[in-house]
Each structure stands twice: as C-alpha cells, then as structure tokens.
Structure 1
Amino acid sequence: MNKFINTQFSWWLLIIAIVGDFVVPYILANFYKGYNHKTMVMSVLGNPNSPVRIYYNIWLVLLGIFLIIGSANLYQQYSSYSKHLSITLCVFIAIFAIGAGILSGIFSVNESKEIENIASKIHGIGSALGFMALLFVPLLLSILSFKMKDWTTTVICLVSFILALIFFVLFIMSDKSSFQYTVIANEGIWQRLTLLFMYIPFGYIAILKIVDYIKK
C-alpha cells in the first residue's frame, strides 16, 4: 500500500475525484427530466426515483475511495512539518469521503426533503458532517503550507477557505423559507461553489506533484 501512496497515479486519482464530482452530475442530469442544477443539490441524482441513481451512487462510493487515497497522499506530503495537523487534515478528509461519499452513495436521500426515512437521515447526517469537516481542510493546508514556506500555496488555500466559508453560509441559508424566491434560494449553485473552493487546494497541490513526476 505504501508503494501506491504518493505516486503519480494516486495523485491522478485525486484529480479525477475533483473533476468527476462536477462532471458526473452534469452528465447524469441530462437523463433526469426536471433536474435543475441551480436549485437542486447533486445528491438528488441518487434518490430512489432517479433514473440515474445507480450510476450516481456508484460514483459517490468511488469518490470517497479516491479522496481517502488523496488524504494519505497529503499526509505524506506534510507530516514531516506537523504530524498533528497532518493527521487532523487526513481525518477531516476521511470524514467527508466516508460521510458525503461512501455512506451517501449507499444510503440515498429522497427527492423531497419532506419525505424522511432511515436511509435519508443517515445520508443527511453523513453529508452534513462531511461538508463541515472538509470546509476547514483548505485552512489546514494553508497553515501547513505556511510551515513549509510555500507562500503561493498558502495564499491559494487561505483564499479558498474564505470563499468556501462564504458559499457554505449561503448554502445553509438557501434552505430557509425566509429566502425562498430570492437568489439565495439557489441551493445547487451554492453547493457547487462551496465544493469548488474546498477542492481547489487539493487540485493545485495534486497538479504540482504530477508536474514534478513528469519532470523527473
């Protein structure tokens, strides 16, 4: 396993996870009549009534696996600078990978939030905990990059954290009835933008590592 971690292929898996988390829902939504990217969260694609539920739920499980591998890569990258922060980083990514990835793929959310069962509750809790954990990963990466004196990555991660936090707040607010029929109600947009800025630090670091491997 150690020979597989921190290889060019394992970093590519992280890139696939990031890009795929936007591309897969975009493609599958074309086969789901009535799906709206602006107002619907991506997990709706995996609901029991969705014609693409099998494909999307399989993707969520793969996403979780790829991110867990990515967390091991990042741990090796930063552990020599701060083992405690690197472990925290790894745990936070794993919480998202398991909660918002693997568990969400196994336990589907319902198309309507008004309909709740055990599966949708597990999905909701796992996804919520996962998002809250992943939110702080860019901040941890910024601190670790600062310890490495990698100023560019430090700034990119810090800016990503601030923007992810802003869009996460909007994502939470979008579910409130008081914001219905306003631009804030576009839950799907805020979810995607939150994920985008959570993922940017991963993508940037992965690209740098892949470039290093290509140069060798």
Structure 2
Amino acid sequence: MINKKESNKWFVFTLIICATDVILPFILGLFYPSYSHMNMVISALGSNNSPVRAVFNMWMIILGVSFILISIHLFNVYRTEKPIASVILLIITVVYAIFDCIVSGIFSVGESKEMTTISEMIHGYGSAIGCTAFVFSGIIAVIIIYKKKPRLGRILFVSFIVTFISFVIFVAGENIPTDAEGIFKIFKYEGLWQRISFIFMYVPYVVLGYKVN
C-alpha cells in the first residue's frame, strides 16, 4: 500500500521529470545556433554535430531510467484496482523508456533523415517503436481512472486525442516536401508537432502520479 506522503513524492518526481524534458530542449537550443525548434526533431540535439550532444544524450538515459521507475510505481499503485490495464501501462512505459530514451541516448541520430549508419538505424527504429507505443499510454490511463473519476477520465481522453492527432501529423510531416503550400505547410513543422505530442503524452503520467483516493 502506497501512503500519501510517498505518493506525493512520486507525484513531484514525475512532474519534475516531465517538465524538465519539455523545457530542457529549449535551453540546449540556445547553445546550438543552427537548431530550429519548429522544424527539427528533439533528438537532433543529440546528433554527432550537436554542441550539446553529451548533455542531451545523458539526459535521455536519465529520462529512460526515470520512466522505468515511474512505471513500476504506477503499477504498484493501480494493480489492485485495474490489474490488466496496469500491466499494459507498465509494458508500454518500459518500451518507451528503453527504445526511445535509453537507446536514443546511446545511439545518436544523424543530421539528415537518411539512416546510413548502424547507430542511426538503431536510433530510428528504436525511437519509432518507443514513441508509437507511448502514444497509447493515454488511453490506458483513461481506462485506469475513468470509473473512479469520470470527469478526469474524459479530460484524459481529450488529451489522448490531441496526442494522437499531433503525433500523426508529426509522422506524416516526414513525407511532406519543404516547399509544400496550403494546408500542407503545417505538416512541415516537425519539431512543433513532436513537442505538442510529447506534452500531452506526459499528462496522463502526471495525473496518475497523483494518487486519487
């Protein structure tokens, strides 16, 4: 049984980790003059030519380990109420933590979208697996919390929809030419859509991190 004091500590820890991951790229971007938050993916901060590569890649490993710990905590909190959903959330989060965070921290992405080296391929495929799985953590969070707090569950469902739409636009943007016009211009801003999707991906963890009694 998780007591209130311990639950509050985990909530603060989860909030700090998620907030740091949202804010840190903007801080590191200040030391990478050619970096564009609107047009470039976050992992480009860890590319071979990035001046902040060491800091970013170390953070990704820390982020991965942190989310593994967070997922274990959430499993322990909700496994009695929602055993199947809790196991699924645990698996999804660990997959994200390993494939998108830890793997990304060890194997750097290239400057271009072309995966020409083994490191770039491991990073690319690992990130695709981890991020895709992470998108669906939001709907699992809805299942976990809806019965006890239906209004909060509806808010998390809206958060999941925003996550899903922004992630789809982000992925689709990889196939949109840079000179696209009209409505397709919004697809070009990969960095923007990736950041929006991650912000809303973190919302369920912050909500679940605060144990609702």
Q: TM-score, normalised by structure 2?
A: 0.90
1:101-131 deviations in whole A, cap 9, x for unaligned? 1110000001111352111111111111111
Which residue does 1:167 correspond to in 2?
166
Equivalent residue of 1:109, what SS? coil
Which residue does 1:68 correspond to in 2?
68
Identical counterparts, % of pairs? 36
Contact 2:11 2:206 in 1 (8 A): no
Contact 1:93 1:134 in 2 (8 A): yes
| Distance in 2 (alpha carbons) for counterparts of 1:15 and 1:92 | 19
Corresponding position: 1:83 with 2:83: yes
Which residue does 2:57 correspond to in 1?
57
Relative distance call for 1:179 and 1:30 in structure 2 (3 A) is: closer
Which residue does 1:117 correspond to in 2?
117
| Distance in 1 (alpha carbons) for counterparts of 2:201 and 2:192 | 14
Which residue does 1:204 correspond to in 2?
207
Contact 1:32 1:52 in 2 (8 A): yes
Contact 1:99 1:130 in 2 (8 A): yes
Q: TM-score, normalised by structure 1?
A: 0.89
| Distance in 1 (alpha carbons) for counterparts of 2:138 and 2:198 | 11
Alpha-carbon offset, residue 84 of structure 1: 1.6
Which residue does 1:41 correspond to in 2?
41
Contact 1:173 1:179 in 2 (8 A): no
Q: Structure 2: which amino acid aligns with 1:165?
A: F
Equivalent residue of 1:110, what SS? coil
The aligned length equals: 206
Alpha-carbon offset, residue 178 of structure 1: 4.8
TM-align CA RMSD: 2.0
| Distance in 2 (alpha carbons) for counterparts of 1:188 and 1:171 | 8
Q: Structure 1: which amino acid aligns with 2:75?
A: Y
